[in-house]
Amino acid sequence: MALLADFHNHSCLSPCGSLDLSPRNLACLASARGIKVLALTDHNSSLNCPAFAKVCPPLGILPLFGMEATTQEEIHALCLFTNLEASLAWSEYAYSLILPFPNDPEKTGDQVYVDEEDNIEGEVEYFLPSALDFSIEYLGTKVAEYGGIVIPAHVDRSAFSMASQLGVVVKGPWAALECVRLPPRVYPPNPGSAVPSARREGSPLNTLGYPLTTSSDAHYPEDVGRRPFELDVAMEELAPHGVSGEADMEALKEALRKRPRF
């Protein structure tokens, strides 16, 4: 039986996210919408993942940990881990390479990390969506050294994607590609200047045969579960020790390989 999954979700740690979307609220909303495998991927940080790890299992959700990294090219990519400590180690490394631009909560939003009861434990100093000092190519290999996988995010979007920043999908050790729509099509960033056919229909995107997912990219409570996808794997195979244990990375990779390709 397929499992409903969603790998791209923000929380109150992301300045563009709602303060109401704590790890606990994210998990509760996802559970109500039938999601069984859920990832928390704030901008360039995993600091809300410890709370997330505690709130998911009682709801029957298998948690994955990570971040939405921003590369030098300003490409967004999901970095996903089955192990919490590996995710936190990667997060610490990534933050050491972030553009040291102080966050201004009044202008750009709060960046708070919380415990499992939504109590604020701290605030991040630098603006988290800033670019990290490495390329998309480097990201693909470095995350693997920490035991994670990379899924380039919303590759068919007109901003912060491979399509928008590079014009094409590039080869790499990607476990999958995340798309806004399936099959993926790229629409002009300035529709008013585009020819009518491009404005209406977009252009097909060559995804090089990679498996494709969708994800909610949730920033607000109402976003949770809006674009989940199915993983063709049994929970017993993906989580041999139950949802309180660590997900099996090889089973996760195999399930992703079964996803559609266009």
Full-model pTM:
0.95
Token pair listed for 168? 């094409």
Which pLDDT score, from 0 to 100, does residue 196 have?
Answer: 47
Q: Is the dihedral of CA 17, 21, 26, 29 positive or negative?
A: negative
Percent over 90 (pLDDT), the chain? 93
| Domains of the chain by start residue, with CATH | 3-257 (3.20.20.140)
| Tens-place pLDDT, residues 203-214 | 999 999 999 999
| Tens-place pLDDT, residues 46-100 | 999 999 999 999 999 999 999 999 999 999 999 999 999 999 999 999 999 999 9
| pLDDT surpasses 80 at 200 | no
pLDDT-based confidence at residue 167 (cuts at 50, 70, 90): very high
Phi/psi for 84 (5° steps) reads -60, -45
Check if the beta carbon of residue 177 is closer than 8 Å to that of residue 262.
no
